[in-house]
């Protein structure tokens, strides 16, 4: 049977290897695109939250329109803005009149058409538009071509930003303080790590490999927030990824490692690995592999939200299956499983359920409705706060035990009405609890 350190080494190697394979580039609010013989009728370029002082700059060059039928009408080709709050009205209009050109829709704001381009120059156009709003809102920038069998070739450069004190801010309205939020969480997790090291050192006689992995999870989370802060600050100031790419690369790597380790730790704690179960069984290895692959997929695919939710379900079923197996084993032989071991798992299950429900469903509903566009910082804060609280509860439940009888924490009365005293080792002196 493989040792604990060999299993840990294999997990780390798989995570690092897959991180390099599945890292995907991030978008920013300075967009450069070269279109070559593009026949699409609608192209979504960006979705951006403008404040009272929003600006949009569009520069196109090397413009060429060809057609396999009649001469294209330049007034039927152009860029427009659609307010996010009018998206439903926009699509309802097309249901009533499916043959209508999108540039004739009453809910959009046409910026310019190719007729304006040809009036100034044959192949280039450059203009900046102030977006003055009575209240901040999200706008979607589209390119439309209503000419059938026509092909558009051009180079496009877009800048979407807000100005504060004559300084450009390329983050959407409502996200301008996101770097500061990430910095606060990096400090919070750093303090958390310091306290965890103190707890482990004080109870080093009961320190297990899983406690080391939990510490590595905190380190990865700190790294994620540090590079997330740097990454968002860079986007805020420049509107694009850093020139060398090392900040965004490390941000992607730590993001992947953080979530893979989080769900792996939840599953490993559920199996009791290195606590009361020295080895992983076959089904446990299968669950662990599924969790790692799903999280890698979630961090490298456009349908990440759905894959991440599936991963949460897999982890919850993993913990529930482990608790059921442990309960059955205790019913068959009470001496084989200690009472406090089963009670810890029974308390841990609803904690995992509450965390998954809030972070993946409630926060997801907030993002999908109005909060994402009026106060997006709130959704980020709520999501990360739920993660911090969950980690604090999980680490408290499964910290190295001081070998002294210990009552359930105050929050346990909402989840389970029992206690899980730590078994006293007669050969060790009793030490005071933290």
Per-residue pLDDT of 46-86, as tens digits, reads 988 888 888 999 999 999 999 888 889 999 999 999 988 88
Q: Which domains does the chain have, with CATH numbers?
A: 4-27+175-414 (1.20.1070), 30-169 (2.60.120)
Is 0.85 topped by the overall pTM? no
The pLDDT of residue 429 = 43
**Residue pLDDT, tens place only, 321-333:** 877 777 776 666 5
The pLDDT of residue 43 = 93
The pLDDT of residue 74 = 92
The tokens describing 226, both together, are 């540090």
Q: How far is CA 276 from the centre of its chain?
A: 33
The pLDDT of residue 78 = 95
Q: What Å distances lie between residue 286 and 160, 268, 323, 420, CA to CA?
A: 46, 12, 17, 30
The pLDDT of residue 285 = 80
**Which parts of the chain sit beneath pLDDT 70?**
1-28, 132-136, 241-244, 274-278, 300-305, 329-342, 368-374, 402-434
Q: What Å distances lie between residue 295 and 29, 33, 79, 402, CA to CA?
A: 27, 30, 37, 34
Q: Which helix (H) or strand (E) holds 60?
A: strand 54-67
The pLDDT of residue 280 = 73
Task: Identify the CA nearest to 236 among candidates 185, 176, 180.
Answer: 176
The pLDDT of residue 326 = 72
The tokens describing 78, both together, are 């152009």
Using CA atoms, how far apart are residues 342 and 268, in angstroms rounded to an integer? 15
The tokens describing 286, both together, are 């299968």
């Amino acid at each position: 049977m493989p040792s604990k350190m060999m299993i840990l080494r294999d997990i780390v190697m798989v995570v690092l290897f897959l991180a390099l394979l599945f890292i995907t580039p991030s978008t920013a609010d300075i967009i450069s695109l070269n279109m070559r013989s593009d026949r699409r009728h609608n192209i979504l370029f960006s979705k951006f939250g403008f404040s009272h002082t929003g600006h949009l700059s569009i520069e196109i060059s090397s413009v060429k329109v060809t057609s396999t039928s009649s001469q294209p009408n330049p007034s039927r080709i152009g860029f427009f803005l659609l307010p996010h709050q009018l998206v439903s009205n926009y699509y309802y209009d097309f249901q009533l009149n499916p043959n209508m050109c999108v540039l004739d829709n009453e809910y959009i704001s046409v910026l310019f058409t190719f007729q304006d381009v040809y009036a100034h120059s044959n192949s280039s156009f450059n203009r900046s538009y102030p977006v003055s709003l009575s209240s901040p809102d999200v706008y979607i920038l589209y390119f439309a071509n209503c000419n059938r069998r026509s092909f558009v070739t051009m180079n496009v450069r877009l800048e979407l930003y807000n100005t504060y004190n004559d300084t450009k801010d390329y983050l959407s309205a409502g996200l301008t303080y996101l770097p500061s939020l990430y910095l606060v969480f990096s400090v919070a997790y750093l303090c958390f790590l310091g306290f965890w090291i103190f707890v482990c050192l004080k109870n080093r006689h009961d320190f297990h490999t899983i406690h080391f992995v939990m510490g590595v999870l905190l380190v990865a989370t700190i790294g994620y927030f540090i590079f997330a802060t740097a990454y968002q600050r860079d986007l805020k100031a420049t509107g694009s990824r850093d020139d060398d790419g090392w900040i965004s690369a490390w941000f992607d790597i730590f993001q992947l490692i953080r979530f893979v380790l989080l769900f792996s730790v939840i599953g490993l704690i559920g199996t009791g690995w290195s606590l009361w179960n020295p080895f992983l069984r076959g089904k446990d290895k299968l669950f662990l592999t599924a969790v790692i692959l799903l999280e890698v997929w979630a961090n490298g695919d456009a349908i990440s939200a759905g894959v991440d939710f599936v991963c949460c379900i897999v982890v919850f079923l993993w913990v529930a299956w482990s608790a059921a197996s442990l309960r059955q084993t205790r019913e068959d032989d009470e001496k084989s499983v200690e009472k406090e071991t089963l009670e810890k798992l029974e308390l841990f299950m609803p904690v995992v359920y509450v965390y998954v429900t809030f972070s993946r469903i409630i926060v997801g509903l907030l993002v999908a409705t109005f909060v994402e566009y009026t106060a997006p910082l709130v959704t980020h804060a709520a999501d990360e706060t739920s993660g911090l609280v969950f980690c604090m509860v999980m680490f408290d439940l499964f910290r190295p035990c001081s070998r002294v009888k210990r009552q359930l924490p105050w929050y346990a009365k909402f989840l389970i009405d029992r206690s899980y005293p730590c078994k006293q080792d007669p050969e060790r002196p009793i030490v005071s609890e933290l």
